[in-house]
Structure 1
Amino acid sequence: MVHHKVFISTPHGRYNKFSLGIKKVLSPCLDLLYRQIIRHKKQDTADKPYYLSVCAIFKNEGSILREWIEYHLLVGVDHFFLYNNFSDDNYREILAPYIERGVVDLIDWPVPQGQFPAYEDCWQKFRETTRWIALIDLDEFLCPVYETSVGTWLEKYEKYPSVIVYWKMFGTSGRIEHDPEQLTIEQYTVCWDKMYNEGKVIINTGWSFSKIYHHIIYANYKIGPFHFHLWIPPVNEFGKFIRWEQIHRTRRNATVDNISFQLNHYWSRAYMMHYRKKEKGSMCENYRHSMRQFFNSEHRNRAVDYKIFRFLIELKLALGMGPKDMSCNRE
């Protein structure tokens, strides 16, 4: 692991200090190039039905669907494009009210290893309906730290092709079993003491993208009469372009305590949830490796984070968890 004042990262491949040094020198130069292109690009000002939408693929996530949808409605998500990938639980019953309200588009997606193709399909079919598309999973919660709306936070990045939001990694919080009567965001509060240097991307549909992934996505910008292609990476909240994930780019006074946005990643939840998931399809050696990784991550949980709790009462009321004569008024 590589530690930074804001980030923890896992080096991919061999950790080459010389190569890393070259990339650190090149990064500010590339920033200047990308900014010049953005300055001269005609901005997309077309009115679209939604400002911020979420695209997600799911399989048998009925236990968290309502919490996840209601939470994201609270923080300013307008619409959801949800891709069902071989679910056989009660997801249709859960989603029916949201589909009827026009909040959710449900797409059946019986495609093995279908996550990236689903993102590509969403981009091709729905980009004219929304200004931004966040590509996240159902164990991830968009969490603005100071703003109350993700859309408001995004307004300052409207000229950029995409924005990366970094993971805050939450572990088991010491729980062996998950309590189905309690919300995920309430049960799991123990986390890494720094941000992970990876996350997910929110893409601006006013730009072109040749291939849609979820960690790092490059906008495809054509220059000149011969259409020379230049690939523009996402920007982070500090206004730094992330061409190489292993380069930790922040402002000088940045600390883990003044990050303005985090993507809460409840990647394991309770121990038995992770155990059962990994036990299903793994050979013995792969399973042992997976459990070693699990405990390596669990041992990094040295902090407690309650930032998302400021939305907790509103979420409980929206889910009907308060007194029966009370309701959550979103106006």
Structure 2
Amino acid sequence: MLFFYNNDDNTRELLQPYIDSGIVDCVLIKGKGQQLNAYNDAIQKHKNECRWMAFIDMDEYLIPSQGGMLGETMQRLFEGRNDGAAGIGVNWAIFGTSGHKNRLPPPITEKLLNRAENNYWTNFHVKTICNPRLVANYISPHYPHYRLGAYSISDTGKRQWGWSFNDVQYNNLRINHYYCKSEEDYLKKISRGLGDRVGSYDMSRYKYYDKNDVHDELMLRYKSELSKRLKSF
């Protein structure tokens, strides 16, 4: 189930077929900097409905590195653990523009195939998949404040502290983050402002996130399935 928090009135119309089919629960949340309010609302409303909740943005694609289903990967990572591990911090894989200046037609995952090297500093950021019943509240877009004794692990099973993990490995999970998309898209990102607080991006970040050093076609494994599903709605 996808709990989609919508900060734009027009998005619901695009999602309506998925809402009608029961795949998406869409909530309109107005105002600037509402990201953490959305995260915490989802936890309070749905924590008893989900074994795991992943907190990701529209430009982030959570994928199992070795293929298969996400649930199967999570089961394997946490099987036999009884040490307080209540979530996993999944590192970003930052994708650049691949030289595109103008906005691209979807799906962008078939056109943006170059990313930053694993241990480039922007990839240190994580987003978290967690057991929502063991989360007190979200204090950052990247990492929750857990209840006493609970914590996140990294992709390699090590205890992870805070919003980043700098030994970046994509053995099990990763988040493809299409931060810039194209230069035109990034300019629109600036106009929208930050998601978690009142503030804005600027062009100084663009050069840090438009990284295209590694050619990466992992998302193409989903090309046919994605095309089939999009055509079904």
TM-score calculated relative to the size of structure 2? 0.84
What is the DSSP-based 3-state SS (H/G/I as helix, E as strand, rest coil) of the residue aligned with 1:83? strand
Contact 1:240 1:249 in 2 (8 A): no
Q: Judging changes above 3 Å, is the alpha-carbon distance between structure 1 residues 212 and 128 closer, same or farther for their aligned structure 2 residues? A: farther
Does residue 217 of the first structure (1) align with residue 129 of the second (2)?
no
- How far is the alpha carbon of 1:185 from its aligned partner? 0.4
Structure 1 match to 2:186: 274
Equivalent positions of 1:47-126 (< 5 A) are: 79-85=1-7, 87-89=8-10, 91-126=11-46
Query: Matched residue pairs, number?
Result: 221
Q: Judging changes above 3 Å, is the alpha-carbon distance between structure 1 residues 104 and 281 closer, same or farther for their aligned structure 2 residues? A: closer
Structure 1 match to 2:130: 203
Could you tell me which of 173, 177, 192 is aligned with 2:98? Answer: 173
Does residue 291 of the first structure (1) align with residue 203 of the second (2)?
yes
- How far is the alpha carbon of 1:245 from its aligned partner? 5.5
What is the DSSP-based 3-state SS (H/G/I as helix, E as strand, rest coil) of the residue aligned with 2:66? coil
Cα distance in structure 1, aligned partners of 2:75 and 2:50: 14
- How far is the alpha carbon of 1:247 from its aligned partner? 6.1
Structure 1 match to 2:63: 143
Contact 1:218 1:234 in 2 (8 A): no
Q: Judging changes above 3 Å, is the alpha-carbon distance between structure 1 residues 208 and 276 closer, same or farther for their aligned structure 2 residues? A: closer
Contact 1:109 1:118 in 2 (8 A): yes
AA partner of residue 83 (structure 1)? Y
Cα distance in structure 2, aligned partners of 1:174 and 1:312: 22
Deviations 1:29-76 (A, max 9, x none): xxxxxxxxxxxxxxxxxxxxxxxxxxxxxxxxxxxxxxxxxxxxxxxx
What is the DSSP-based 3-state SS (H/G/I as helix, E as strand, rest coil) of the residue aligned with 1:129? coil
- How far is the alpha carbon of 1:206 from its aligned partner? 4.1
Does residue 162 of the first structure (1) align with residue 82 of the second (2)?
no
Q: Judging changes above 3 Å, is the alpha-carbon distance between structure 1 residues 80 and 174 closer, same or farther for their aligned structure 2 residues? A: same
Q: Judging changes above 3 Å, is the alpha-carbon distance between structure 1 residues 177 and 150 closer, same or farther for their aligned structure 2 residues? A: same
Q: CA RMSD of the aligned region, Å?
A: 2.6
Contact 2:91 2:127 in 1 (8 A): yes
Unmatched tracts of structure 1, length 5 or more: 1-78, 222-229, 251-255, 321-326
Deviations 1:109-152 (A, max 9, x none): 12431110111111001111111110000000011111321111
- How far is the alpha carbon of 1:279 from its aligned partner? 5.2
Aligned-residue identity in percent: 27
AA partner of residue 152 (structure 2)? P
Could you tell me which of 231, 234, 241 is aligned with 2:152? Answer: 234
Structure 2 match to 1:128: 48
- The higher-RCO structure (CA 8 Å, 6+ apart) is 2
Cα distance in structure 2, aligned partners of 1:237 and 1:96: 35
AA partner of residue 156 (structure 2)? F
**Structure 1 residue runs of 4 or more that deviate by more than 4 Å after TM superposition:** 244-247, 279-282
TM-score calculated relative to the size of structure 1? 0.61
- How far is the alpha carbon of 1:308 from its aligned partner? 1.2
Contact 2:124 2:166 in 1 (8 A): yes
What is the DSSP-based 3-state SS (H/G/I as helix, E as strand, rest coil) of the residue aligned with 2:51? strand
Does residue 313 of the first structure (1) align with residue 233 of the second (2)?
no
Unmatched tracts of structure 2, length 5 or more: none
Deviations 1:49-107 (A, max 9, x none): xxxxxxxxxxxxxxxxxxxxxxxxxxxxxx0111121x143x23322221222111111
Does residue 185 of the first structure (1) align with residue 120 of the second (2)?
no
AA partner of residue 30 (structure 2)? P
Cα distance in structure 1, aligned partners of 2:139 and 2:217: 32
Contact 1:190 1:303 in 2 (8 A): yes
Cα distance in structure 1, aligned partners of 2:192 and 2:17: 32
Structure 2 match to 1:262: 174
Q: Judging changes above 3 Å, is the alpha-carbon distance between structure 1 residues 280 and 128 closer, same or farther for their aligned structure 2 residues? A: closer
Contact 2:36 2:140 in 1 (8 A): yes
Structure 2 match to 1:32: none
AA partner of residue 209 (structure 2)? S
AA partner of residue 226 (structure 2)? L
